[in-house]
Chains A and B, each alone.
Chain A
Amino acid sequence: MTIDLTDTTTGAIHDALRQARLRLGGVASGMVLTLVIVTNEGEQYDAVRAASAAGRQHPCRILVVIIRRPEQRSRLDAEIRVGETSPGETVLLRMYGPLGQHADSVVAPLLLPDTPVVIWWPDTVPPIPSQDPIGALAQRRITDAAAAGSPRDALARLASGYQPGDTDLSWTRATPWRSLLAATMDQPSGDVTGGTVSAEAGNPTADLIAAWISHAYGVGVVAEPSAGPGVTEVCFTTSDGEIVITRPDGRVAHLRRPGQPERRVALHRRETTELLEEELRRLDPDEIYAEALAQFQTAHHSQ
Chain B
Amino acid sequence: MSAVNPLRDPRDRRIPRVAGPCVLVLFGVTGDLSRKKLMPAVYDLANRGLLPPGFSLVGFARRDWENEDFAQVTHDAVKEHARTPFNDTVWQQLAEGIRFVPGEFADDAAFDRLAQTVAKLDTERGTGGNYAFYLSVPPKFFPDVVAQLKRSGLSSSPVGQDGHRPWRRVVIEKPFGHDLASARQLNEIVNSVFGSDSVFRIDHYLGKETVQNILALRFANTLYEPIWNRGYVDHVQITMAEDIGIGGRAGYYDGIGAARDVIQNHLMQLLALTAMEEPVSFDAASLRAEKEKILSAVRLPENLATGTARGQYAAGWQGGVEVPGFLEEDGIAPDSHTETYAAIKVGVDTRRWAGVPFYLRTGKRLPRRMTEIALIFQRAPHLPFNATDTKELGHNALVIRVQPDEGVTVRFGSKVPGSAMEVRDVNMDFAYGESFTENSPEAYERLLLDVLIGDPPLFPQNQEVELSWEVLDPVEHFWAEHGKPDQYVAGSTGPASADALMARDGRAWRRL
Contact = CB atoms under 8 A, between A and B. Distances in A.
Contacts of B439: 57
Contacts of A217: 6
Interface stretch (A6-14, A67-75, A102-110, A259-267): A259-267
A58 B18 contact: no
Contacts of A301: none
A32 B9 contact: no
B254 to A, nearest CB: 42
- Interface footprint category on B: 35 or more
A164 to B, nearest CB: 12
A182 B50 CA distance: 12
B153 interface: no
Contacts of B436: 32, 58
Contacts of B437: 32-33, 54-55, 57-58, 60, 277, 280-281
Interface in B323-374: none
Given A175-B15, A186-B20, A217-B6, A263 B90 contact: no
B322 to A, nearest CB: 34
Contacts of A18: none
A212 B6 CA distance: 10
A58 B49 contact: no
A178 B89 contact: no
B46 interface: yes
Contacts of A182: 5, 7-8, 15, 18
A264 B90 CA distance: 10
A49 interface: no
Interface stretch (B102-110, B118-126, B221-229, B443-451): B118-126
Contacts of A281: 437-438
Given A176-B49, A186-B1, A282-B13, A265 B126 contact: no
Interface string A167-197: 0000010011011111111111000100000
Given A58-B434, A252-B89, A187 B49 contact: no
Contacts of B53: 180, 183-184, 253, 255, 263-265
Contacts of B46: 266
A213 B7 contact: yes
A287 B12 CA distance: 8
Q: Which of B20, B53, B92 has the most CB of A within 10 A?
A: B53
A268 interface: yes
Contact of A178 (B6, B14, B128, B433): B14
A185 B123 CA distance: 20
A263 B127 CA distance: 9
B52 interface: yes
Interface string A184-220: 1111100010000000000000000000110011000
Contacts of B433: 58
Contacts of A268: 87, 89
B434 A183 contact: no
A216 B7 contact: yes
A189 to B, nearest CB: 9
A264 B96 contact: yes
- Interface footprint category on A: 35 or more
Interface string A99-139: 00000000000000000000000000000000000000000
Contact of A266 (B8, B89, B162): B89
Interface in B16-53: 16, 18, 20-21, 46-47, 49, 51-53
A288 B435 CA distance: 26
Nearest to A267: B49
B93 interface: yes
Q: Which of A172, A263, A278 has the most CB of B within 10 A?
A: A263
Contacts of B8: 182, 186
B89 A288 contact: no
B477 interface: no
A265 B93 contact: yes
B15 to A, nearest CB: 5
B119 to A, nearest CB: 13
A288 B10 CA distance: 10
Q: Which of A33, A54, A186, A264 has the most CB of B within 10 A?
A: A186
B9 A181 contact: no
Contact of B125 (A60, A263, A278): A263
B482 interface: no
A103 B5 CA distance: 46
B217 interface: no
Contacts of B128: 187
B54 interface: yes
Give me the 7 closest cross-chain CB pairs, A-B, nearest first: A30-B434, A263-B53, A263-B54, A183-B18, A265-B53, A216-B6, A182-B7
5 contacts: A179-B14, A188-B2, A261-B124, A264-B96, A267-B49
